[in-house]
Amino acid sequence: MDRIVIEGGAALKGTLPVSGAKNSAIKLMVACLLTEQPLTLRNMPDLADTRFLTVLLQRLGVKVTREADVMILDGHDVSSAFAPYALVRKMRASFNVLGPLLARMGHAKVSLPGGCAIGARPVDLHLQALEALGANLEMHEGYVYATAPRGLKGAEITFPFVSVGATEHALLSAVLARGTTVLRNAAREPEIGDLAHCLNAMGAKISGIDTDTLIIEGVKRLSGADWSVIPDRIEAGTFACVAAMTGGEVVVDRVRVDTLQALIAKLREAGVEVEEGEASVTIRRDPSTRLKAVDVTTEVYPGFPTDVQAQFMAVMTLAEGESVIRETIFENRFMHAPELSRLGARIAVHGGEARVTGVEALHGAPVMATDLRASVSLVIAGLAAEGRTEISRVYHLDRGFERLEEKLAACGARIWREEGDGDGSVEAAAE
């Protein structure tokens, strides 16, 4: 199994370019099932998750071609509505093929997704939304058997709590439904807006984008489109945390600055200088000065993102004072805390709250990644730690970060990948 090796202590200087958003790209790929015409996606990240989903879409009959960051998905010959467990289990978002297959073909058999290392994350809201749209659902032996022989029909759906996945799934399912669908208490993440705008470019009629109420006027068919994936705000936030942690001066380039405001406010509160540009942010910090401890609470967008919580916790391990980090989105999302403690961090976790007492220095050690965002928090800490840090199970990183070591090394980080013997990392990535 591969591992990441870091010799810490280098202040970074240079430019870190941000790739297309993983959480947008994988839902945009699924949209190809809704049309017989090609869907061209630009600024596509090359990640383990996009490769996993490519295999599933090809299994359904989609022709996928890729050159550099451009992916063309041709769903003209989609002939199968069966998504097997062996493929869906590798990436939870694969479950979102259910609604589009049902909308287009009138039936589908899709495996329920497997468990998740950062919480239960049930798909109840997904299924309730599909039932509201007129789907007949049965579950046998871990599969959802869905039928809608007369097609889906519009409905008013109020989510009991904000769910990004359920909002996206309902949106993908409703665009071809008869009549009008209203989604209330919908998630407002930028990736949902990206999906909605792309669907409109394909001929859908969606209004209320970027609000908590989405209105979808169903259409009979969608066409192809040429669409560019928005920049990844989580990667951008990760790079901002890297620069804040190591000191120096880094330009995080090709970003949507408006999507980073919650993190920028906390970095400034911690004593980091942040200069906002039109499509970039410049992070500066004198490495000889200590950061200030800052409390954060994760919230749905536009609040502080749960997907940057682990990265920010890493930054706080060297801050002066005690910071309190509260996780309100996912249970069991502090699994990185024990690994950060191996580097010398002082972290006490009680339920959904972690108290981080800053230390003068971290020290390199062997650590193990437990999930995607936790893995990159260890990279951040390792870059600032004294000595050598070795991170194992880095297949988690490959799910969401493109050319991470290459980008960081270009700014002066002493980081590289070493190949191991391997123990089925693709299988392990299904966790």
- The residues assigned a catalytic role are 116
* Spatial CA neighbour of 73 closest among 100, 101, 96, 41: 41
> Is 77 flagged in the annotation as binding?
no
Dihedral, 303, 213, 208, 254 alpha carbons, nearest 10: 20
Residue with tokens 């540009």: 277
SS3 content of the chain, % helix, strand, coil (to 5): 35, 25, 40
In the predicted structure, residue 88 carries a pLDDT above the cut 70: yes
> Is 92 flagged in the annotation as binding?
yes
pLDDT above 90 covers what percent of the chain? Answer: 89
| Interatomic CA distance for residues 154 and 134, integer angstroms | 8
Phi, psi of 243 (to 5 degrees): -65, -40
> Is 124 flagged in the annotation as binding?
yes
Which residue stretches of 133-211 are H helix? 164-174, 190-201
- Residue range 120-131: mean pLDDT, rounded: 86
Q: Element (H or E) spanning 275, and its range? A: strand 273-276
Q: Element (H or E) spanning 354, and its range? A: strand 353-357
pLDDT digits (tens, 9 = 90+) for 140-156: 999 999 999 999 999 99
State the DSSP code for 77.
Answer: T
Quote the pLDDT of residue 302: 96
Quote the pLDDT of residue 221: 97
Quote the pLDDT of residue 116: 47
> Is 22 flagged in the annotation as binding?
yes
- Residue range 27-35: mean pLDDT, rounded: 98
| Interatomic CA distance for residues 231 and 45, integer angstroms | 10
Quote the pLDDT of residue 92: 84
Residue pair 186/159 in contact (Cβ under 8 Å)? The answer is yes
In the predicted structure, residue 421 carries a pLDDT above the cut 70: no
* Spatial CA neighbour of 154 closest among 130, 181, 116: 181
Higher pLDDT, 70 or 424: 70
pLDDT above 70 covers what percent of the chain? Answer: 96
> Is 69 flagged in the annotation as binding?
no
> Is 125 flagged in the annotation as binding?
yes
Task: Grade residue 422 by pLDDT with cuts at 50, 70 and 90.
Answer: very low
pLDDT digits (tens, 9 = 90+) for 391-413: 999 998 999 999 999 999 999 99
Domains of the chain, first to last: 3-19+231-428 (3.65.10.10), 22-228 (3.65.10.10)
pLDDT digits (tens, 9 = 90+) for 267-288: 999 999 999 999 999 999 998 8
* pTM: predicted TM-score of the whole model, two decimal places: 0.94
- Residue range 319-348: mean pLDDT, rounded: 94
> Is 98 flagged in the annotation as binding?
no
Spell out the residues 6+ positions from residue 35 whose beta carbon is closer than 8 angstroms to its own: 75, 202, 221, 222, 223, 224
Coil/strand/helix, residue 237: helix
pLDDT digits (tens, 9 = 90+) for 361-372: 999 999 999 888
Quote the pLDDT of residue 188: 97
Quote the pLDDT of residue 51: 96
pLDDT digits (tens, 9 = 90+) for 170-205: 999 999 999 999 999 999 999 999 999 999 999 999
- Residue range 340-360: mean pLDDT, rounded: 97
* Spatial CA neighbour of 113 closest among 135, 134, 91: 91
* Spatial CA neighbour of 197 closest among 207, 187, 211, 189: 207
Average pLDDT in the chain: 94
Quote the pLDDT of residue 121: 55
In the predicted structure, residue 431 carries a pLDDT above the cut 90: no
